[in-house]
Amino acid sequence: MTFAEKLIYLRRQDRCSQESLAEALNVSRQTISKWELGISQPSMEMIVFLSDYFHVSTDFLLREDTALEDSDALAKIVIRFLNSSQSMEMISKELVAIARDGVIDEEEKKMLSSISKEIDEIQRVIDELKALIAGALSD
């Protein structure tokens, strides 16, 4: 698997657009596109940032003979799930704060909307984890 193929795979696995990844890296969307097309390569600094961003090793990103195996995919999803569990704790605290006075004001409505989006993302992570586990069990 080439760097370009790995970047495309990781970005899609993370449900990240070229534009949002470019914003996180402080580069243009065209730069991400060139990396994915194999026209250019990121700097070493960007490789390190990408490895941190996608929770993979720099070795994985740079070695063309390294494939993303099921265990790597599972590790990536588990990390996302652990991040989700931290989010769930924060959501619980926010919901308690909202329910405390029994009245939902405009600011709390905005918080509820944000919480709803976060719960949707947590559900996507759980669904990915369940699918990966089901696949492993059927092998």
| Residue 3 · residue 41 · CB < 8 Å | yes
Residue 11 CB contacts under 8 Å (≥ 6 apart), including other chains: 17, 18, 21, 32, 36, 54
Q: Are residues 111 and 130 in the same domain?
A: yes
Domain total for the chain?
2
Q: Are residues 58 and 78 in the same domain?
A: no
Give the end of a domain, one of 32, 62, 92: 62
Domain extent, residue 115, equals 70-138
Q: Are residues 78 and 57 in the same domain?
A: no
Give the end of a domain, one of 62, 83, 110: 62
Give the end of a domain, one of 13, 37, 62: 62
Q: Are residues 35 and 81 in the same domain?
A: no
**Residue 138 reports pLDDT greater than 90:** no
Whole-model pTM over 0.75: no
Q: Are residues 80 and 134 in the same domain?
A: yes
- The mean pLDDT value for 50-57 works out to 89
Q: List the CATH number of the domain containing 38.
A: 1.10.260.40
Q: What pLDDT, on a 0 to 100 scale, did the predictor assign at position 66?
A: 54
* Sequence letter at residue 40: S
Look at 27 and 85; give whichever has higher pLDDT.
27
